[in-house]
């Protein structure tokens, strides 16, 4: 439940369309609901402007379904990242209108379609192999109420591909750049634009790439001052931070 939903609830009580007891029942699980194996934070959207997101890795299908059901009961959008098709099937059996975004490995329930972002978030991938991480960023930003544009397979090995999108990059309010190998692309993008660039190192590359560590270190040492970096393969974190910036 976000602050707007809470305001509407109080307004219904004021107008006597909802009894105080009914309102208390709806608020009963604030600030969190204890499921035994998880304490679901229903207060997070009020505190932080964004609802709790389910990290599916390491959880059973039944646990994902229970947490997803709990979040869905309080309205708004629900997102589960790093989910399998088996976990999606368990959620779809108990929650209506959920979708599985296979490239992003995300389960989504989108009910709030309001745009909270002030501009466009551009999500850029260096190569096709980086698209799954980029798609996690796309889904996250979209679920948090942003207009998102993706620009894929524009790595530095063919820099003319990136330069053909300069106009789109110039119009973006925040840019997320996902790259593996040596991780050079965020620095290049950072040198072309005057907005925040969030770099996401991916675990794509041959042996000396060390599963994304080389890209991470390269991005941390970027000479483009508008570049900040999230963890390896953390498309969700990039999409979340970009959403916060885009709301300002």
- Of 6-10, 61-65, 178-182, the one with minimum mean pLDDT is 6-10
Instruction: Find where tokens 């840019």 sit.
Output: 175
Cβ-based burial of 93 (10 A; exposed 0-12, middle 13-18, buried ≥19): exposed
- The domains located in the chain, with CATH, are 3-109 (no CATH), 120-247 (3.40.50.1970)
What share of the chain has pLDDT > 90, as a percent? 73
Confidence of residue 1 (pLDDT cuts 50, 70, 90): low
Query: What is the mean pLDDT of the segment spanning 27-34?
Result: 70
**What is the C-alpha to C-alpha distance for residues 107 and 92, in angstroms, rounded to an integer?**
9
State the pLDDT at residue 50.
80
Tokens (6 digits) for 219? 């991005």
| DSSP letters for 48-96 | HSS---EE-TT--HHHHHHHHHHHHTT-S-EEEES--HHHHHHHHTTST
pLDDT digits (tens, 9 = 90+) for 171-195: 999 999 999 999 999 999 999 999 9
Mean pLDDT along residues 139-156: 96
| pLDDT digits 0-9 by tens, 86-141 | 999 999 999 999 999 999 999 999 988 889 999 999 999 999 999 999 999 999 99
Averaged pLDDT of the chain: 92
- Residue 164 — left, alpha, or beta (φ > 0 → left; ψ -120 to 50 → alpha)? alpha
What's the pLDDT score for residue 30?
A: 66
pTM (2 decimals)?
0.85
- State the angle between helix axes of 235-247 and 131-143 in degrees (0 to 180), rounded to the nearest 10: 40
Q: What is the helix (H) or strand (E) element at residue 99, kind and residue range?
A: strand 99-101
């Amino acid at each position: 439940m976000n602050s707007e939903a809470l305001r509407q609830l109080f307004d219904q009580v004021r107008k006597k369309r909802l009894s105080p007891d009914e309102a208390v029942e709806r608020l009963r699980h604030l600030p969190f609901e204890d499921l035994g194996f998880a304490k679901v934070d229903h207060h997070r959207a009020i505190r932080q402007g964004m609802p709790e997101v389910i990290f599916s890795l390491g959880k059973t299908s039944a646990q994902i379904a229970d947490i997803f059901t709990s979040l869905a009961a309080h309205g708004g959008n629900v997102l589960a990242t790093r989910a399998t098709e088996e976990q999606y099937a368990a959620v779809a059996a108990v929650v209506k209108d959920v979708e599985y975004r296979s490239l992003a490995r995300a389960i989504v329930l989108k009910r709030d379609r309001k745009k909270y972002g002030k501009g466009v978030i551009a999500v850029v991938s260096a190569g096709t192999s980086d698209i799954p991480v980029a798609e996690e960023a796309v889904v996250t930003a979209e679920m948090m109420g942003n207009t998102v544009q993706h620009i894929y397979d524009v790595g530095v090995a063919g820099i003319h591909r990136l330069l053909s999108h300069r106009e789109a990059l110039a119009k973006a309010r925040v840019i997320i750049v996902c790259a593996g190998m040596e991780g050079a692309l965020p620095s290049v993008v950072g040198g072309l634009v005057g907005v925040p660039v969030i770099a996401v190192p991916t675990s794509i590359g041959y042996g000396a790439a060390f599963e994304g560590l080389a890209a991470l270190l390269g991005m941390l040492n970027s000479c483009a001052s508008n570049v900040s970096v999230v963890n390896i393969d953390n498309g969700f974190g990039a999409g979340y931070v970009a959403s916060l910036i885009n709301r300002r």
